[in-house]
Amino acid sequence: MKNLLKIVCISGTFILGSCSSDDDSTTEVVAPSTYVFERNNESSVSFGGQTTRIAMAEEIVSKLKDNTSTEAILDAMFAHVEGANDFSDASLNASGKSVRSKTAASRDYFSDNATDAAAIKDKFDSWIKSQVDDVFPSWTTDASAGVAGVLQEAGGGSKRYVNTKGLELNQAFAKSLIGALMTDQALNNYLGTLVLDEASNIANNNNGVVAEGKPYTTMEHKWDEAYGYLYGASQDKADPNKTIGQDDSFLNKYIGRVEGDSDFAGIAKEIFDAFKLGRAAIVAKRYDVRDAQAAIIREKISQVIAIRAVYYLQQGKTALEASTVDYASAFHDLSEGFGFVYSLQFTRKPQGNVPYLTRTEVQGLIDQLMGGTNGFWDVTPATLQSISETIASKFSFTVAQAGS
pTM (predicted TM-score): 0.93
SS3 assignment for the chain: CEEEEEEEEECCEEEEEEEEECCCCEECCCCCCCCCCEECCEECCCCHHHHHHHHHHHHHHHHCCCCCCCHHHHHHHHCCCCCCCCCCCHHHHHCCCCCHHHCCCCHHHHCCCHHHHHHHHHHHHHHHHHHHHHHHHHCCCECECCECEEEECCCCCCEEEECCCCCCHHHHHHHHHHHHHHHHHHHHHHCCHHHHCCCCHHHHHHCCCCCCCCCCCHHHHHHHHHHHHHHCCCCCCCCHHHHCCCCCCCHHHHHHHHHCCCCCCCHHHHHHHHHHHHHHHHHHCCHHHHHHHHHHHHHHHHHHHHHHHHHHHHHHHHHHCCCCCCHHHHHHHHHHHHHHHHHHHHCCCCCCCCCCCCHHHHHHHHHHHCCCCCHHHCCCHHHHHHHHHHHHCCCCCCHHHHHC
Q: Are 14 and 283 in contact (CB under 8 A)?
A: yes
What local confidence, expressed as pLDDT, does residue 27 receive? Answer: 74
Of the two residues 49 and 16, the one the predictor is more confident about is 49
Confidence of residue 108 (pLDDT cuts 50, 70, 90): very high
pLDDT tens figures, 284-325: 999 999 999 999 999 999 999 999 999 999 999 999 999 999
The answer to whether residue 99 scores a pLDDT higher than 70 is yes
Residue 8's pLDDT is 42
What percent of the chain is predicted at pLDDT more than 70? 94
**Closest-CA residue to 127 (of 83, 75, 73, 69):** 75
Q: Where are the domains of the chain?
A: 136-404
Q: Calculate the average pLDDT of the chain.
A: 94
pLDDT in tens, 138-180: 999 999 999 999 999 999 999 999 999 999 999 999 999 999 9
